[in-house]
Structure 1
Amino acid sequence: EGVDSPATLPPATGFLPPAFGPAELFGGQFRRLVADIVARLKSGERVVAVTSQAPRLQELVEEALRNDPTPNPQLPTPNAPRLQELVEEALRDDPTPNPQPPTPNFTTIHGALEAGWRLPSLGLTLYTDSEIFGVRQRRPLSARRSRSRSVEDRAAFLRGLKVGDHVVHIEHGIAVYEGMIRRVVGEIEREYLVLRYAAGDKIYVPVDQVDRVARYIGAGDTAPTLTRLGTQDWERAKRKARAAVQDLAQDLLALYAQRQTKRGHAFLPDNEWQRELEGSFPYIETDDQLRALTEVKADMEHDVPMDRLICGDVGFGKTEVALRAAFKAVQDGKQVAILVPTTVLAQQHFDTFTRRMAAFPVVVEMLSRFRSAKEQDAILKDLARGRIDIIIGTHRILSKDVSFKDLGLVVVDEEQRFGVRHKERLKQLRAEVDVLTLTATPIPRTLHMAMAGIRDLSVIDTPPEDRVPIKTYVLPYDESLIREAILRELEREGQIYFVHNRVQSIYHVANHLRNIVPEANVGVGHGQLAERELEKVMLDFFEGRHDVLVCTTIIESGLDVPNSNTIIIDDATNYGLAQLYQLRGRVGRSANRAYAYLFYKRDRSMTEEAQQRLEAIQEATELGAGFRVAMRDLEIRGAGNLLGAEQSGHIAAVGFDLYSRLLEQAVGQLKQRVDQESGVRSRESGGGGTSPAPGSRLPASDSRLPTPDSRLPTPIINEKVLVSPLVTLDLPMTAYLPTDYIPDDTVRLGVYQRMVAAEQLDEVRALRQELQDRFGDPPLPAMHLLTWLHIKALALQAGVNSVTTTGEEFIIRLPILETQARERLRRRYGRDAGVKVGPQFIRLDRRSLGEGWSDKVMGVLEVLAA
């Protein structure tokens, strides 16, 4: 009594009522977000968005409102003036430029907040990146390539492993994989890989040692000889391979050392224009895109010339990374060369760069056969005088008559499409300026060099929002199916590529298609057309004037026509696997389901290799399969031409994966030596350097560093570090993934690989969450396996050698128990009779621990790791 009820309280003046509620989550679905904002504005509410994508969101909402005939009323609330005053005050205090938006009741602010909310009583909603994207948009803190990424890359060698495949065990040699079984050893049940060697001998490999096994890839298609256990055959093969990689590593490091002695331009950090350009990107960047961009920028801001390879699936956003890198270079007054394999792709990149940079004083030009001789002469003069910032073109850019006033960055799209002479020129450039290479399916040499550490590698394997896999069919040639496929695409107002790679018969095929599908408008495009004619054909197709484009592989690289969602490939047996994958990637670049039809001749016998290629492309249907396709291509063709004939025998003897690991270690050791002697810390270690004065250069060579004629000390190759860091765990627990939990052997093996690669606690937690999401609540053996991983991660963090069970004790062994760690243990367990501390060990009484032994073991490890 005497206390006002809420209904009788006078309206607050200048204060917000406490009736807050959570804002809706959109998980990166921009279209749904925009529809929600428009609906709220139409109902008279106010919306504020604090986001890293402020300009783009403002643009999308304004466009949606322009297309909506319903007027947008003002907010009918007495607190509206005060709310507007608060928003304007916040905008005045915010250092980031945020001009007053023209859309009534809708405000965007470029920034970051933890979470949004709704205030229904005021008709106000606040959205942040937490609601828009599902998580706050955070850029990776470091450009260093994580070791787990390397492990994931290498895991591609086991993906899709089938019973009967040849494998290599790093310690025991070449065997045949016979599947997975569970065995009970010492009352403990675990799962094992069964490997069969010569004379029928078998080895059972615990799943926690799966990183010691790789699929065998030899120098050709000859089946390998199985290793005889109990002999020195395998050791002899490895010794020879070690000697070979040591020689090869010396040669590879000459180029790396030359690059390290140079001092290029250290680009400045991002400025406001850079942020504006990136904010205008019409899509949501994936985490992989952001990671790759951060790595590229870190390389550019370092004073050693960049040499980074970006491996990303077709349509996954490599071009956007290159565009932002190019813009960054231009901000420092440097020129950029974009090198592409085809004139059609040059035109498309030119259109993209011109459109994206139209709001900025950046001059973009194109040098290709789409330009007349007179136009080319004018472009060359402007380029030499520095009037052109970005030049896009084919190998014409590498000609001797092309000169730059101040070249700072070269972007190479699909380097494997260029000839030997052009690659030699690119090799020279790598020692002088920053080089960024883009590829959708790395050829084995490129892939190997990246893995071996000579070039830095960024992988973009996360698909864009709404992207769906391409339906792929491998079929004998059938005209009725071709007609059906074309008509089905026309019914949804889409377009079709028909790939026929013989110019002499391409017009005959086009006329035949016109007879089969008279409803379709058919155009023809190939590389032998006159420049203007080819340009017109491609433009007509892009703008929808042709329904079907009969073409050669000129469309293979980078062509982006979002409305084209069906591709038909004639005589598909004549293409390589990487080429088929690239061609298929021309479709499926929107939210619509895409279809790929690969036809082969009914009356022609197919080689085993061609059959393997078609099977591989049909299997690689999931989004982001480009890396796996490269591995499969390597397996089909063999690795014999990877590093020359002189290395083929060694690759055949030990398999490509072990050979690569040996080479990677040898290169890594020499690379570290080069970095130390040059005084330049490796970019992988995240180190920086002192930038030179503008325009300055260090001498071209340094007698202390290796050249092709000098030698570094022979690296010492230690097999123990070719696999995950070794922590010996012998724990009394039944730990495995039951077959009734994950029935598919291939999927289960893949999960085991991920588990072996997990070395940090956050990775273990992420795996547990993934198991829960994908397969449901983990059963007891799987929970034991997660506990085992938790103990391993803590042991690695603490520098522990082993955690073992002997009789009635757990023994934790270390190289040495430091005084500080000993003191921490004494403070926590000083009165615990079950814990005994020695100079290099800790003993835990197993009897006193009972069923809760794992908590005690983890507690001790946490103290050691502190």
Structure 2
Amino acid sequence: MDRLILGDVGYGKTEVAIRAAFKAVMDGKQVAVLVPTTVLAQQHYTTFRERLATFPVKVEVLSRFRSQSEQKEVVENLEKGEVDICIGTHRLLQADIKFKDLGLVVIDEEQRFGVAHKEFFKKLRAQVDVLTLSATPIPRTLHMSMVGVRDMSIIETPPGERLPIKTVVAAFDERLIREAILREMERNGQVFFVNNRVMGINLLAERIQQLVPEARIGIGHGQMAEEKLAAVMADFVRHELDVLVCTTIIESGVDVPNANTLIINRADRFGLTQLYQLRGRVGRSSQLAYAYFLYEKEKRLSGDAEKRLKTIYEAAELGAGYGIAMKDLEIRGAGTLLGVKQSGYINSVGFNLYTQMLSEAVAGLKATGSGLSKEEIRLKNMPAPKLDLPLDAFIPEYYIQDLDLRLSIYQQLSALTSLAGVQEKEKELADRFGAMPPELENLLYSIRLRLLAKKAHVDTIVTEGSQIVVRMLGGLIINKSLLEPLRAGVIAGRNQVAIEFKKIGDKWKEVLEEVIWRLG
């Protein structure tokens, strides 16, 4: 197994990991849980132990919060097989770590690790299963999932009573900061105040203390002594502090449901994924949460910084993590799948064609071990062509009045994968419900056209003014001789075909279908 679990912050990815780990342990295997920070390692350690307390499962943690003697004991017990689940930071990747029988690796917040770190585990054993958790995966990981190199599951349903986070992008303003902190304190809540550098964090904390003298303020960052950092985090969790002035050490999975206001100083210096992950530290209960992204008043924002802040402001709805990751993929490129960076090869063929070539290679490998042909697997994995036609295509209520039955028919239609299947469904509908209305005929026509278009490597079929334009996937070149027998009104270009309404008239649907059929 090599599966990406894509779920927004607070959607329950950790619960999935706990259950997968429990199943692996019950099968006699050991589990490694790799996390990016010591704070998150400690939190997961507590969560795993509490959830599995009633079962014979030994959970341990390896991080700098443990003493050298404690770490040595854990390492020895791992090799003996006496530890079932080991949660750790990069410490788990060091040469002295040996598992007796490793069966599952869980990588949490994978966007925080380098490719070399993650591929290291796969070399430990040929049969090791890998479960990757992320709200905003790095472009390489997301792209590998989209083209089928690895599997992907998406958690789309938010927890009950979860509310979207109210997001504010503004210039640094002391009055705004004071109001935000006091509002949170009035409802007995807590505040994260994030600064992007350790340098100057003490001065910032003093400034906030002067602004809000009634607040209990603590400081947390990665350069603090282990005991001191652990103590500060524990105080914050116990609500002995109102405001935690900290660095991005809280970015990864830290869960404090009572903290429902986040203020980020110099937000323009953070990456898009970082901003999204940080915003996910609040709004983890039924309370309305607030996130303030502040930038310097006098300083002009760069183009990229402005885009990042605009994207995070617009992506305020629940479940926006996938959209953020897709935007990141679009901006940064997909990276090399077998290497650790983006090479020149993808630039020489273009992203779309590269994706298509890669999908075909993956389909070939999958066909080797399955009963399906390479062509069947390739078609199954190809993205559905986009259709935008001047047609009313739906099942009218008067034709099938029962809502559940109508939805069931929609599901059956969406699952059709062959022209023969469409024809069979057409006969069945006419037999069960009588003569079909034009809207349903249009719907079946659209399904038939989409299947033909997929086989022909068509990317989009869209209406543009007085034309219908058919564009090929990845800029594939059209063999114009295939379209010569068609009447006037069909104009073939290098990688697109235009069909003119005025010259074709009412027969445009038949002509469009024949064009797609000939291209395939």
Shorter chain as normaliser: what TM range?
0.7 to 0.9
In the superposition, relative to structure 1, how do residues 419 and 507 fare at CA in structure 2: closer, same or farther (>3 Å)?
A: same
Of 70, 75, 88, which aligns to 1:393? Answer: 88
The structure-2 alpha-carbon separation of the partners of 1:729 and 1:416, relative to structure 1 and needing over 3 Å to count, comes to closer
Q: 2:303 aligns with which of 592, 596, 608?
A: 608
* Residue identity opposite 1:490 in structure 2: M
Which secondary structure state, in structure 1, belongs to the residue aligned with residue 200 of structure 2? helix
Q: What is the rounded CA distance, in whole Å, between the counterparts of 1:625 and 1:406 in structure 2?
A: 38
Write the distance in 2 (CA, Å) between the matches of 1:421 and 1:720. 32
Q: Which amino acid aligns with 1:418?
A: F
Q: Distance in 1 between matches of 2:388 and 2:84?
A: 58
Aligned residue for 2:347?
649
Deviations 1:797-817 (A, max 9, x none): 9xxx9xxxxxxxxxxxxxxxx
What is the CA–CA distance in structure 1 between the aligned matches of 2:388 and 2:246, rounded to whole Å?
59
- How far is the alpha carbon of 1:534 from its aligned partner? 0.7
Match of 2:465 in 1: none
Q: Which position in structure 2 is the counterpart of 1:735?
A: 392
C-alpha distance in 1, partners of 2:296/2:331?
A: 21
Give the aligned partner of residue 164 of structure 2: 469
Cα shift at 1:633: 2.1
Q: 1:469 touches 1:621 (CA, 8 Å); kept in 2? A: yes
Partner of 2:442: 788
Does residue 310 of the first structure (1) align with residue 13 of the second (2)?
A: no
Amino acid at match of 1:589: R
Spell out the pairing of 1:549-698 with structure 2 (5 A cutoff).
Answer: 549-638=244-333, 644-650=342-348, 654=350, 656-657=351-352, 659-673=354-368, 675=369
1:219-275 Cα shifts (integer Å, max 9, x gaps) = xxxxxxxxxxxxxxxxxxxxxxxxxxxxxxxxxxxxxxxxxxxxxxxxxxxxxxxxx
| Deviation per residue, 1:818-848 (Å, 9 max, x gap) | xxxxxxxxxxxxxxxxxxxxxxxxxxxxxxx
CA contact (8 A) 2:169 2:294 kept: yes
Structure 2 Cα separation of the partners of residues 412 and 720 of structure 1? 29
1:671 Cα deviation from its structure 2 partner = 3.0
* 1:722 Cα offset (Å): 4.2
Give 1:365 deviation, angstroms.
Answer: 0.8
- TM-fit CA distance, 1:593: 0.6
State the one-letter code of the partner of 2:49.
Answer: T
Report the identity percentage. Answer: 57
Q: Among residues 82, 92, 103, which one is paired with 1:408 in the alignment?
A: 103
Whole-Å Cα distance in 1 between the matches of residues 92 and 152 of structure 2? 25
- Asked if structure 2 preserves the Cα contact closer than 8 Å seen for 1:759 and 1:793, the reply is no
Distance 1:658 1:466, change over 3 A: farther
Structure 1's 763 and 470: CA in aligned 2 closer, same or farther, altered over 3 A? Answer: farther
Q: Which has the larger radius of gyration?
A: 1
| Displacement after TM superposition at 1:664 (Å) | 1.6
Q: Does the residue aligned with 2:229 lie in a helix, a strand or coil? A: helix
Paired residue for 1:442? 137
> CA offsets, 1:628-655, max 9 Å, x none?
00122233345578862323424xx64x
In 2: Cα distance, 1:554 partner to 1:390 partner: 24
Give a deviation string over 1:697-752, Cα, whole Å, max 9, x none.
xxxxxxxxxxxxxxxxx9999899845389x999xx95269xxxxxxxxxxxxxxx
Structure 2 counterpart of 1:371, which letter? R
TM-score, normalisation: structure 1: 0.45
Does the 8 Å CA contact 1:759/1:792 hold for their aligned counterparts? no
Does residue 535 (structure 1) correspond to residue 209 (structure 2)? The answer is: no
Q: In 2, Cα distance between the equivalents of 1:588 and 1:719?
A: 41
Q: What is the SS of the residue equivalent to 1:518?
A: coil
Are residues 790 and 715 of structure 1, via their aligned partners in 2, closer, same or farther at CA, if it must alter by over 3 Å? closer
CA offsets, 1:61-107, max 9 Å, x none? xxxxxxxxxxxxxxxxxxxxxxxxxxxxxxxxxxxxxxxxxxxxxxx
Aligned to 1:433: 128
**One-letter identity of the residue aligned with 2:227:** R
Q: What does residue range 142-541 of structure 1 map to in structure 2 within 5 Å?
A: 306-429=1-124, 431-541=126-236
Where does structure 1 differ by over 4 angstroms across 4 or more consecutive aligned residues?
Answer: 638-643, 714-723, 783-787, 790-797
Cα pair distance change 1:624/1:474, threshold 3 Å: same
Coordinate RMSD, CA, aligned: 3.3
Q: Kindly tell me: are residues 331 and 478 of structure 1, through their superposed partners in 2, closer, same or farther at Cα, counting changes over 3 Å?
A: same
- The letter for the 1-side match of 2:317 is E
Decide whether aligned partners of structure 1 residues 471 and 371 sit closer, same or farther in structure 2, where only a CA change above 3 A counts.
same
Secondary structure at 2:9's aligned position in 1?
Answer: coil
Amino acid at match of 2:302: T
Residues 492 and 720 of structure 1: CA distance in aligned 2, closer, same or farther (over 3 Å): closer
1:761 aligned to which of 407, 410, 413: 413
Q: 1:657 to 1:481 in 2, by over 3 A?
A: farther
Alignment partner for residue 724 of structure 1, among 352, 372, 384? 384
TM-superposed deviation, 1:459: 0.9
Kept in 2, the 8 Å contact 1:734–1:784? The answer is no
Note the alpha carbon deviations across 1:662-719, whole angstroms, 9 max, x for none.
422332123323x25xxxx79xx9xxxxxxxxxxxxxxxxxxxxxxxxxxxx999989
Tell me the SS of whatever aligns to 2:306.
helix
Q: 1:103-114 alignment to 2 at 5 Å?
A: none
